[in-house]
Amino acid sequence: MLMQALKVEDYTFSYLDTKNPALIDVNLEIAKGEIVVLAGPSGCGKSTLLKSIVGLIPHMYSGSWSGKVIVDGAEVSKTKISELAKKVGFVFQNPENQIFMFSVERDIAFGLENLALPKDEMRQRVDEALSLLNLKNLADRAPHELSDGQKQRTALAGVLAMKPSILILDEPTSLLDPHTAHEVIGTVQKLNKNLGITVIIVEHRLDLVSIIASRLVIMDNGRIVANDAPKKVYNNSEALKAVGMPIMASLHKELGGIGEPPLSVDEFVSVLKIRND
C-alpha cells in the first residue's frame, strides 16, 4: 500500500498574465494519517497550493507550471477532476457555501449521487457519516434549523461520505464561537484517529490547531519557510514572524526558552509545576 498521501515536487506555478509565480519551488511530502497545519499571511500561496491539490489548478485556472503534484498516487495535472474529487475532500470556511439541500441526510447524499453509486452503498455511506459525526438525530432537519457547529459537522459528513483519502479544511472554525471551534477541531482529531484519514488544515490561529498537528508548515511569499513538528517550528522565531508567535510559545521564549515550547496553557502549567517541585 502507498504510504504517501501527497507529494509536491519542485513545484512552481504562475497564473496567466502575472509576472511573479504564486508558488516557487515547493517541496512537500505528507504521509498517510498525518494532520498537517498550513499557515501563512494572505497572499503567501496557501490557496494556490490547495487549488493545485484538489485539481482546480491546472484544470480550471490557466497558468504555467513546472514540477509535479501527486495526490494518493495520481499526478494531478494528468488526472480528471472527477477522479480527484474521490480522493480529496474539501471543507470551506463557511458551511453555508457548502450545504444547501432540504435535509441533513439529503445533503450528505448529494456528492454520492453525483458519483452514481448503487443505492445500497449510498444508504450505508450516509448512515456511517451520520454516526461518525453524531448527526443521527438531526438527519431529517433542514440545514437552516441547525446551529453553526452542526452545519459545519454536516459539511464534514458530506465530504467524508465520499471516502476521500485526504481531507482539506480551509479555516473551518473562523465563524464559530470558541467552544464550538474547539469541538470541531476535536471532531477532526477523532476522525483522523479512527479512520486514519490524512488532514490538511489551513488556519491563522495556531494556538487552536497546533495541539492536534503532527506537522506545521509555514508559507511566505510563495515558498515554504518552515516544515516540521509544531514544537520545532515554535522555536523558529524567524519563520514565525510571518504568522505571529503563538502566545504560550512567546511566553516561553520571554522566560528564557529553556526546554521545548509548550503548545497549550495546560502544558505550560504542568511543566511549570514539575519544575517548581
Partner 1 sequence: MIEFDDVSFRHQNGVMALREINLKIATNTLTAIVGENGAGKTTLVRHINGLLKPYQGKVLVFGEDTKKQSVAKLSRKVGIVFQNPDHQLFSDTVENEILFGLRNFGIEEKHDRLEWALEFFDLSRYRNVSPMLLSGGEKKRLCFACVLAWDPDVLILDEPTVGQDYKHKEKIVSMINNLLQKGKTVIIVSHDLEFLWPQQPRTLVMSQGKIIADGNIAEALSDDSVIKQANLVRPQLLALAIALGLKPPSNVKEAAKVLAR
The footprint of partner 1 (CB under 8 A) covers 40-43, 47, 93, 147-149, 171, 174-182, 204-205, 207, 242-244, 247-248, 250-251, 254-255, 265-266, 268-269, 272
CB of 265 to partner 1, least distance (A): 5
215-220 and 223-228 strand pairing: antiparallel
Nearer Cβ to partner 1 (104/248): 248
Cell of 49: 497550493
CB of 22 to partner 1, least distance (A): 12
Amino acid at 197: I
CA 127 distance to own-chain centroid: 24
Nearer Cβ to partner 1 (229/255): 255
Nearer Cβ to partner 1 (11/268): 268
Give the H or E element holding residue 40.
none
CB of 252 to partner 1, least distance (A): 9
Would you list the DSSP string of 143-162? GGGS-HHHHHHHHHHHHHTT
Nearer Cβ to partner 1 (4/47): 47
Cell of 272: 511549570
Give 95's DSSP letter: G
CB of 14 to partner 1, least distance (A): 18
